[in-house]
Amino acid sequence: MTVRPIYADEAGAFNAALDAHHWLGHRLTGQVLRYAAELDGRWVALIGFGSAALSCAARDRMLGWDRGQQHARLTRIANNQRFCVLPEGRIPNLASAVLARTLRRVSGDYLAVHGHRVLAVETFTDPARHTGACYAAANFTLLGQTSGYSRTAGTWRHHGSVKNVWWYPLYRDLPAVLSSPFPHPLLTPEDRSVAAWIDVNTLPFTGTGGLTAALEPLTDPRQPRGIRHVIVSSLVMAVAAALGNSGKSFRSVGTYVADLDQHQLERLGARWHPVQRRWVAPHEATLRRHIQMIDADEADALIGRWILSLVRAGRITTDQAWILIALDGKVLKGSWEELKSQQVKLFSALIHGEGVIVGQRKVPADTTEVTQVTGLIDAIAGAPPAAALPASAGPDPDPDAAAFQAGDLEGLAFTADALHVHHDNLRAIFHRGGEFTITVKGNQPKLRKALAALFPVPVGQDPPHHTTYDRGHGRIELRSIWVTPHVAGIGFPGVFQAYRIHRETFDLAQNPIREPETVYGISTWTPWQASAADILAANRGHWGIENREHYVRDRTFDEDRSQIRTGSSPQVMATIKNTAISILRLIDCTNIADGMERLARRPQRVLALLGA
């Protein structure tokens, strides 16, 4: 026996069969799907689905949702409005078998036809006509009975015919999903792959998992005598100000904190004044001193590990084996080193997809961001600054080095631009259990020449292993990738695959916008860990750090015009902005500016997000 959706030209026969054999006829309402069960080429049963009942007390009590959630999420429930076993199907257990086969496919069919999955199926049976035994046999749950009302043309009418209410969840823990305060990944649009990774309802924003608890180990450089305001509280208040659209300067932070009421000050850890008997907000000058004096790298590490823990807690699937982290630097154009000889440059780490920042370090004026890689991954991994790697006989990995902090980067994969093709840094990542995928350009001419030799067939004469075609922003981008595992002799630690990527960009009339570009790269992923499509996605996802961190800080926080420059304050203020961006991204906010404006009107929500 098979169960399939009916074809368009079969609708007449479907309706006629229901009119002849079902007491309610063929009329279905709402988002409709029609199925036929076939046995030996003959229809033996018909089943029809439509939209769920607008109101059902037994169902709504079980789900525990409010009216707003009910109206927003009711489309995720389908109603089995018709089920008819035809005379040819009077076979023992056939009805429950038809239901079981239909329920296995109905969610995917709703996605294909109506653009969203259904998460549960409900139905009503009339106890005066039948007991509903086939639904019980198919593992439906009897929730209770209706109150005998029907709704026609927007009005309710009492007909007195009580029905039994049956329920079948297609996913686990469905009441928690449909009544969740934040949108659950199962409720997000199906084409939003980013949101599908994060279940915000599992993130420990409140209680012991909040930001204040995460910052408790932060070192206070002041002498104990005379301390009035807690330095951790000042930092959390600054993050709250950034979430409330007031994090562009010390003045805006001070104004935001000064406007907090007593309840908000208490939750954010403000000082209790024993004489005035009230909570006292720190002055703008106090907030400024606290931000200038704290160890910026320590604060970055504590906040970054807190954000990373939220991402790990919120991932609801194990299909993705790695958390991809992009490494890149950003110059603060308005902030200069104290000697005014060079602009401040920050080197940060952003998680692909989620778009949250989990680490940041200041690049000293006399060096480049390459020197900050090991310190940044130490902060991300939660390890103290490490000793040098064991010496090796050459560029290939030393087998004895495997014990070096083994596994503290397990599950993390890093992407970076060609500047970071550096033996020591890549060896540090690989030996600590991490992976990397990195582009190679002219700064490594010998390596680039060796990689080009692995792909002797010119582009256009060799079918690519994977191709993507993207249209948007007035242009079309075509990307093709070729991958090879034959990388012996390349001389970089842990490399298992090399790749070539060819990019072409056109306008909407298929006219080239820029010259085609071919780049090469290396990856520690083995062929069974990552396909060509995975490597291409990682390569493209790396540049999300420009749009999702650098651009947002420049445009939304106006960072390039900021003239904060004393002590560690440029880095700490950047960390505060990164934290606000990350929290907003974790609650599925796609427009950071809009999210901050909304939170500015809802300070209690800000406190909840910070765990205060």
This prediction has a pTM of 0.65
CB 86 within 8 A of CB 45: yes
> Does residue 186 fall inside a structural domain?
no
> Does residue 443 fall inside a structural domain?
yes
- What DSSP line would sit under 429-475, residue for residue? HHHTT-EEEEEE-TTSHHHHHHHHHT--SPTTTS--SEEEEEEETTE
Q: pLDDT value at position 403? A: 38
> Does residue 197 fall inside a structural domain?
no
Q: pLDDT value at position 465? A: 92
Q: Are residues 236 and 105 in the same domain?
A: no
Q: Are residues 65 and 11 in the same domain?
A: yes
Residues of the chain with pLDDT under 70: 153-154, 182-183, 188-208, 314-321, 334, 336-341, 383-407, 612
> Does residue 193 fall inside a structural domain?
no
Q: Are residues 173 and 214 in the same domain?
A: no
Q: pLDDT value at position 219? A: 92
- Over residues 509-520, the pLDDT tens digits come to 778 888 889 999
Q: Are residues 393 and 501 in the same domain?
A: yes
Dihedral pair phi/psi, residue 108, rounded to 5°: -65, -35
Q: Are residues 238 and 349 in the same domain?
A: no
User: What is the domain range of residue 19?
Assistant: 2-179
Q: Are residues 290 and 334 in the same domain?
A: no
- What DSSP line would sit under 537-570, residue for residue? HHHHHHTHHIIIIIHHHHHTS-GGG----STTHH
In three-state form (DSSP H/G/I as H, E/B as E, the rest C), the secondary structure along 98-117 is: HHHHHHHHHHHHHHHHHCCC
Q: Are residues 289 and 320 in the same domain?
A: no
Q: Reading across the β-sheet that carries 475-484, which strands appear in turn?
A: 357-363, 343-351, 323-336, 412-416, 435-440, 517-523, 497-507, 475-484, 466-472
Q: CA 239 to CA 237: how far, in whole Å?
A: 5
Q: How far is residue 264 from each of residues 253, 536, 600, measured CA to CA in Å?
A: 15, 47, 13
> Does residue 561 fall inside a structural domain?
no
- Which H/E stretch holds residue 376? helix 373-381
Pairing mode, if any, of strands 435-440 and 120-125? Answer: unpaired
Q: How far is residue 276 from each of residues 25, 75, 255, 259, measured CA to CA in Å?
A: 76, 55, 21, 18
- Which H/E stretch holds residue 19? helix 11-21
What single-letter amino acid sits at 576?
Answer: I
Number of domains in the chain: 3
> Does residue 195 fall inside a structural domain?
no
Q: Are residues 485 and 539 in the same domain?
A: yes
| Neighbouring C-beta atoms of residue 293, cutoff 10 Å | 17
Domain with residue 526: its CATH number is 3.90.350
Q: CA 557 to CA 541: how far, in whole Å?
A: 23
Residues facing residue 4 across a β-bridge:
36
* The two three-digit tokens of residue 157, written as one number: 């009418």
Q: Are residues 50 and 115 in the same domain?
A: yes
CB 247 within 8 A of CB 238: yes
Domain with residue 136: its CATH number is 3.40.630.30
- Which H/E stretch holds residue 278? strand 278-280
Q: Are residues 266 and 304 in the same domain?
A: no
Q: CA 157 to CA 160: how far, in whole Å?
A: 9
